[in-house]
Structure 1
Amino acid sequence: MFNLGILISGRGTNLENIFNFTKKFPTKIKISSVISNNPNALGIEIAKQNSLPLEVINHRKFIDRESFEREIDLIFKEKKVDLICNAGFMRILTSWFVNRWFNKQINIHPSLLPSYTGLDTHQRAINDGVKFTGCTVHYVRSELDSGPIINQAVVPISPNDTEKTLSERVLKAEHIIYPQAINLIVDKKLEVIDNNIIYKEHFLPKTILINPIENN
C-alpha cells in the first residue's frame, strides 16, 4: 500500500479531490495522514467527514519553523508516509524539511511555472495581459515554487475574466492533473535525475500537459 500524507491550510478542495482519487484504488493507495497548520481550515471538516486520520498542528505554537516541521516529520514517519502532497498548504518549508523529504514531496501551484511564483497568481496574470495561465505539479525544493515539473495544465484567460472566475477554472484543472501526477509516482512511471523528470514509458502529451487548444 502506498501511503499519502496531505498538508493543508485552507478549503481542502484538493484534499477532497485526492481522497476521491484514492477511493478508485483501495488496494493500491490511501491517505494515511492529514495535517493542517491552520485550526480554522475548512479542510479539517472534509477530513473528518471522510474519516481521514487528522492532526491539527498550529504553527503559531512553536518557537520556530523547524520545531513545527519536526512535529510534522514525526507524524508522517509514524504513519509510514511515502509521499507528501501539499494541498493548499500556505507555509514555506525550511531546507531541513525539504531535504528530509527530498523527492518525496510534491506541490500544486496555480500558474504555469516558472511564471508567477508566490501569491496572487491569477490577478498578476490578468494585470500583465497574458493570454494563458494554468497550474503545475512539481517536486518541492527549498526555493519557493521551484523543483522538477511533473505535469501542467493550460487555462486560457478571457478578456472578461476576474480573479474569481479565472481561479475557478484553474482549480478545475488542478483537480485533473494532481491525481495524474500522484498516479505517475505511485506506478513508478517517472524518476528524477539531475533535477529533471525522466518518464519511463512513452506518454501521450495529454498525460503531461493538458492543452485546451488541442481539445477544441
Structure 2
Amino acid sequence: MRRLGLRRRQDGTTHIRPGGALVLCALVWVLCGATTLQAFWLLGADGWRFAVLPAVVSAVIWVVLWAPRVIVREDLIEVRNVLVTHLLPMGAIAHPRLGAMLRFDLVPAAHEETTAVVTAWNAPGVGRDRPRDRLSRSDPRSAHGSPTARENWAERLRRDQLTSPSHVAVAAWERWTAQDAQTRGRAGPAAEGLRPGETDAPSAERRLNRFTLGLLTACVLAVLVRGLI
C-alpha cells in the first residue's frame, strides 16, 4: 500500500502520494459514477439535479487527495499542495525533514533571520509505532529472541524513514548535495568567494494553482444553480 503512491515517469520524474489516498479516490469516484449513471437512467435528462452533488464530491476529492503530490526531479522538487505549488531548486533547500510529514527547510535569503519551511501535506510520512510493538520492545524477555527488540528510538525512526516513499525526495537532495560539493571542490576556492550577506543559492518559487481555484469556483456555482432552479 505504501509503494502504491510512488510512480516513476518516463520523463525521469518521480511522483509521491499516499497509496491510501489513491485507493480512496478510486472508491469515491466509482461510487459517484454509479450514482450519476443511476440518476440519468431513472430520470433521463432531469437526472442532472442528482448528478451535481456526486460531480462536486468527485472534484473535491481530486483537489484534496489526487492533485497534491511531491514531484522529484534531478535538480528540483515540486511540492503541489491544494492551493499553492512550491518550486524548490535543490540549492534552495537547506535540509529536508521526514517525520510525521515531509518538510523542507529553505536556505534563508540575504539579511533574513528566519528560515522558511515548506510542508508537503499530502506526502506520506513515517509510520507510528503500534502500542503492541512498543510493549514488546520494552519487555526484557523479548530482547533475547528478536534483534529488532533492541532497536532504540533513533534506529526505528531511521528504518521507517528509509522505507517511506517520501525518502525518495530526501535521497535526491542528498545526491545533489554530494555532487554539488564535488563540483565546488574541483572549481577551487575562487568559486566560493562571495561578499558578506550574499548567497549563490537559487530562490524558491510559489504559485497559485489556478486550475484548482477555477474548479472549486465551478463547484460552488454548480451547487448554487442547483439550489436555485
* TM-score normalised to structure 1 length: 0.24
If asked which structure has higher relative contact order (CA below 8 Å, sep 6+), I would say: 2
Higher strand share: 1
In our comparison, the structure showing a higher alpha carbon Rg is: 2
Name whichever structure is richer in helix by fraction. 2
Give TM-score scaled by structure 2 length.
0.23
